[in-house]
Chain A
Amino acid sequence: MNDPVTHASGLIRCPACYFMLPGPWVEGGETLRECDRCRQFLRISVFPALRSAPPLPTRSGERAMEGDATCFFHPEKRAERPCDRCGRFLCALCDLPVGARHLCPSCLKAGPEEIVALPELVTRRLSWGRLSLILSLMVFIPFFNLFFWLSAPAAVFAALYGWSKPGSLVHGRRPVSAIFGLLLGLLQVGGVAFFFYNLWLESTHRAIH
């Protein structure tokens, strides 16, 4: 932490007893201190967010003066910034921060396609490639291998169905897992098919002789 050292006020919550500890704190450095209530030793490093006030809950936007750029949705309001997605000018009311990005209401409009397009809004993802791999490997796990006649086709289905689905936010689509799961699943399905084909061949052979 080589930033210049400044002092910040604000409250820090003790993680052991949830007592609110008052400052001052060294910003850009570390404060070693005991909790006033539980005497737990703490190493506290504060960041600029502690001293900056939280954003106001409601903002209506300033009225535009002559020559000012105006909001796309409210022509009487002064534009504060452009939408990071569509580029429309937005007043303070229409400026919807999503992380570091600022979006307009129409870009943020809920819908599955929009959520896929906006990774900031994704809270959960199913990794189809990983699912395919897990299902294909179930044949090696005792007890679960009794159900491989279900898990193997499911592994093939998951690999094929999820191929074009959006993958993990951090790992991507995991194509290697999907390919491995697909091949292992096909091998198991093929093995079962081969076994029954041989049975059928034997039975017809016996019937002929």
Chain B
Amino acid sequence: MGRFKSATPFLVFAAIAVAAQWLMRLTGTEYYLVQLTMALYYAIVVMGLCLVMGYAGQVSLGHGAFFALGGYTTAVLTTRDLSEWQEAAWAQALRQLHLLTAREDLYGQAILTATPWAAFGVAMLLTFVVAHLIGYPALRLKGHYLAMATLGFGLIVYRIVLGTTFTGAADGITGVPPWEIFPGLIVSGRRPVRVQNYYLACGLVLALLVVLRNLVRSRVGRAFQAIHDRETAANAMGINTKEYKLKAFVTSALLAALAGVFFTHYTGGIAPSEAGALKSVRYLALAAVSGMSNLWGAAVISTAINFCSLRGWFGSFDHAVFGALLIVIISLAPEGPLKPLGLWLRRCCGWRAPTVPAAKPVDSLHGPA
């Protein structure tokens, strides 16, 4: 029974995903899937942000930059033509290792670029390094200083990609090739693989939800929670707060970069606005709306709101919607609207509030780590 219960949210999520696709197929609006897929990738960033904000209690206004870091690394590596070094020994060696590939660009010219898998690896590695470099000193700072430091980092990345011809300056990079994860599964925005890509994004979100849920219920997750609640006390309990904060920050940066890589292959390009402060604030707003420490809420709500935004339903008030959401949610229900809403619904329907079961380690894998 308990096992079944813990699987319920996953089944509900999967059911919603399938229902949405069928609804679109039946109403002939299957092109909505494109925005829905993009929104799912954005949701991954928000889930990562929830980990760092809701569980470890550290604010970050630089997640747009990590998303862009992943996206731009992939985009640069997979579009940059290296054929001038074709004869060089290192290029030959990398080709042997399948890290470089010869392909045709949009205009049918033969070019030599990194393979998407290699680019993915480099993007993750780079993000790992950068997140450590920024996180290590930044996480020693408190609340607003940390917010400003991460915002400053985000703006630096934004200005650099905007001002560098290497990254396409204001135009960004286009012509990023599809990514064949394994034969038959291609990350690409092309029409024949639209449905496939939608389910790929759903699957990725679900898989990450499982991983993150297990993480927050493990020893590591409880350490995060302790830091969130009272850092000094956590420290006194023997939790190495610096290390755990850094872990949470780097993990969420990697999630953002992962989303960036998939997003870039899916849309076939990336623009500097992805690194902008407004994007980072959006992620913050979405994390706040989902209650910061509610991974399910983060996945569902941020997908829904981002989908509306990408479809252009907010019109010219696109940014204002996110700003207003932040203000309203934080001032009226700082714990997120879901919990009070649920309690209110229960009271209305005369249900008793369920007794909260004591937290227990779910998996033996992370338990005694």
Q: Do these two chains interact? A: no
